[in-house]
Structure 1
Amino acid sequence: MRQGMKVSLALLAFLGNLTWCYSAKANFKGNLTVEIDGFKNKQGQVCASVFAKSQGFPNNRDRVIQRQCTKITDSSVKLTFENLSAGSYAVAVMHDKNEDSKLNRNSLGMPTEGFGFSKNPEVRTSAPKFSEAAILLAGPNTNIQVHLKYL
Structure 2
Amino acid sequence: MKPLFKTLACVAALMCAARAGAADLTVVIDDVKSAEGQLMIAVFDSAATFLQQPTKAVQAPAVAGSATVVLKNMPEGDYAISLYHDANGNGKMDRNAVGMPIEDYAFSNNAMGRRGAPSFEQARVVLPAAGAVIHISLN
- The verdict on a shared fold, with TM-score over 0.5 as the criterion, is yes
CA distance in 1, matches of 2:75, 2:100: 34
For residue 4 of structure 1, what is the aligned residue in structure 2? Answer: none
1:73 has 2:73 as partner = no
User: How high is the TM-score relative to the length of structure 2?
Assistant: 0.80
TM-score normalized by structure 1?
Answer: 0.74
Report percent identity of matched pairs: 31
Check whether the contact 2:33–2:64 (CA below 8 A) recurs between aligned residues.
no
Secondary structure class of the residue paired with 1:136: strand
Larger Rg: 1
Shift of 1:56: 3.5
Which residue in 2 is equivalent to 1:16? none
- The alpha carbon displacement at 1:40 in A equals 2.4
Which letter maps to 1:47?
A: M
Matches within 5 A, 1:86-97: 86-97=76-87
CA deviation vs aligned residue, 1:109-132 (integer Å, no higher than 9, x gap): 100100001100134320001010
Separation of aligned partners in 2, 1:30 and 1:45: 24
Deviations 1:38-67 (A, max 9, x none): 122222111111100112322x3xx11111
Aligned length: 122
* Cα distance in 1 for residues equivalent to 2:108 and 2:82: 7
- Report 1:42-61 matches (<5 A): 42-58=35-51, 60=52
Matched with 2:95 is: 105
Look up the equivalent residue of 1:144 and give its one-letter code. I
In structure 2, how many angstroms separate the alpha carbons of the residues matched to 1:81 and 1:107? 34
- For each residue in 1:85-135, what CA deviation from the matched residue of structure 2 results, as whole angstroms up to 9, or x when unmatched? 111000101000121222111111100100001100134320001010000
Structure 1 residues 130 and 142: alpha-carbon distance in aligned structure 2, compared to 1, 3 A threshold: same
Q: CA deviation at 1:32?
A: 0.5
The equivalent residue for 2:3 is none
Residue 37 of structure 1, CA deviation: 1.1
The answer for the alignment partner of 1:33 in structure 2 is 26
* Alignment RMSD (CA, Å): 1.7
Structure 2 letter corresponding to 1:103? M
Q: Work out which of the residue numbers 56, 60, 72 in structure 2 matches 1:82.
A: 72
Q: Distance in 1 between matches of 2:61 and 2:84?
A: 12
Match of 2:116 in 1: 126
Which of 114, 132, 137 aligns to 1:142? It is 132
